[in-house]
């Protein structure tokens, strides 16, 4: 029997009894790689909202970002945003990527070890796009080799499912198709595609199709499932570490049930 402290920590609010959370640990994929069509497309918001929403449903999740593009100041804000909402302590090493091949093999292996623990379902955000180069693979003394590790390599090396995120704008479908095609060429397991709305564009850059039309277009062009969109909210800000109503808009706009099923949830667990 689980002790009382653990029951309180992972007490489900919707999906059933504590035993379901225990079954989650045993049967689910142990990690999910969150990839984007480009840098700054909303991966951090989507991953954070998804992990926090599932945690609110009683599933032991965490979200990490071991590799960060940009300045240390930006990285600190992003990590604080993720940690404060998902309750995932930043007790792991973080590499600030300021040049190609910034990630050493030891840092890569530390991220792998952090992800492969089965204490939680771990969401891992990777920088840039799936093809963003991160490290030379098997580099010799000269520092050069014939192949790169890119963001997609993390999912491929571990055989982890991945979720692809894009900005919800007029270029969304084009960028989604290109990124999904690349992932398919790498034999990556793409289990869902999501979008994030922003207010940084004028009306000329708005997506000219509704969510049902986008879902059909994504299915026809990539063969993958559109898991939904996180709507723009002025109260949600990564730089200001303001979570606003992120969990609410994620639960309302994202198909959590499909995410659970795609990660290996047994029928008794995913249907509540």
State the Cα–Cα distance between residues 9 and 144, nearest whole angstrom: 47
- Give, for 267, the enclosing helix (H) or strand (E): helix 267-270
Residue 248 lies in a domain: yes
Check residue 272 and give its pLDDT: 47
pLDDT band at 266 (very low <50, low <70, confident <90, very high): low
CB 59 within 8 A of CB 87: no
pLDDT band at 165 (very low <50, low <70, confident <90, very high): very high
Which of 29, 182, 47, 193 shows the shortest CA–CA distance to 127? Answer: 47
Q: Between 229 and 267, where is the model more confident?
A: 229
Q: Between 266 and 56, where is the model more confident?
A: 56
Neighbours of 189 (CB within 10 A): 15
Among 90-99, 165-174, 220-229, 231-240, name the one with the lowest average pLDDT.
90-99
The packing angle between helices 72-86 and 43-56, to 10°, is: 20
Among 82-86, 153-157, 176-180, 199-203, name the one with the lowest average pLDDT.
199-203
Residue 142 lies in a domain: no
Q: Between 79 and 12, where is the model more confident?
A: 79
Give the range of the structural domain holding residue 50, as residue numbers without chain letter.
Answer: 4-136+147-270
Q: Which of 48-52, 87-91, 132-136, 255-259 has the highest mean pLDDT?
A: 48-52
User: Which CATH number characterizes residue 79's domain?
Assistant: 3.40.50.300
Residue 102 in this model has a pLDDT that exceeds 80: no
Residue 59: alpha-carbon gap to chain centroid: 16
Residue 141 lies in a domain: no
Backbone angles phi, psi at 184, to 5 degrees: -65, -40
State the Cα–Cα distance between residues 244 and 233, nearest whole angstrom: 8
Residue 190 lies in a domain: yes
CB 165 within 8 A of CB 35: yes
Residue 217: alpha-carbon gap to chain centroid: 22
Take residue 134 and report the two structure tokens written for it: 């991160």
Full-model pTM: 0.84
Check residue 6 and give its pLDDT: 36
Take residue 245 and report the two structure tokens written for it: 């109503």
State the Cα–Cα distance between residues 93 and 129, nearest whole angstrom: 21
Which of 195, 267, 265, 253 shows the shortest CA–CA distance to 224? Answer: 195
CB 175 within 8 A of CB 211: no
How does pLDDT run across 60-74, given as a tens digit for each residue? 899 999 999 888 899
As a whole-number percent, the residues of the chain with pLDDT over 70 amount to: 80
Residue 177 in this model has a pLDDT that exceeds 70: yes
State the Cα–Cα distance between residues 38 and 13, nearest whole angstrom: 35
CB 125 within 8 A of CB 94: no
Which of 193, 151, 190 shows the shortest CA–CA distance to 168? Answer: 193
Residue 151 lies in a domain: yes
Total domains, the chain? 1
């Amino acid at each position: 029997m689980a002790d009382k402290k653990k029951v309180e920590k992972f007490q489900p609010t919707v999906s059933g009894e504590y035993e379901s959370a225990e079954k989650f640990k045993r049967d689910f994929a142990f990690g999910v790689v969150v990839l984007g069509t480009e840098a700054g497309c909303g991966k951090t918001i989507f991953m954070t909202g998804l992990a926090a929403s599932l945690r609110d449903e009683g599933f032991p999740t965490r979200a990490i970002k071991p590799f960060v593009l940009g300045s240390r100041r930006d990285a600190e804000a992003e990590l604080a945003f993720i940690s404060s909402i998902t309750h995932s302590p930043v007790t792991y090493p973080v590499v600030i990527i300021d040049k190609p091949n910034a990630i050493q093999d030891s840092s890569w292996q530390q991220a792998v070890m952090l992800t492969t623990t089965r204490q939680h379902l771990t969401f891992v955000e990777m920088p840039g796009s799936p093809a963003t180069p991160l490290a030379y693979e098997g580099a010799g003394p000269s520092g050069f080799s014939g192949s790169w590790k890119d963001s997609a390599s993390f999912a491929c090396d571990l055989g982890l499912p991945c979720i692809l995120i894009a900005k919800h704008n007029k270029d969304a479908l084009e960028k989604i198709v290109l990124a999904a095609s690349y992932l398919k060429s790498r034999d990556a397991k793409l289990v869902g595609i999501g979008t994030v709305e922003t207010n940084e564009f004028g009306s000329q850059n708005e997506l000219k199709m509704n969510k049902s039309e986008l879902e059909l277009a994504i299915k026809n062009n990539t063969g993958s499932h559109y898991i939904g969109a996180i709507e723009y909210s002025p109260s949600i800000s990564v730089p200001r570490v303001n979570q606003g109503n992120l969990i609410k808009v994620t639960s309302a706009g994202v198909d959590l049930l499909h995410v659970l099923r795609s990660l290996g949830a047994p029928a008794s667990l995913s249907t509540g």
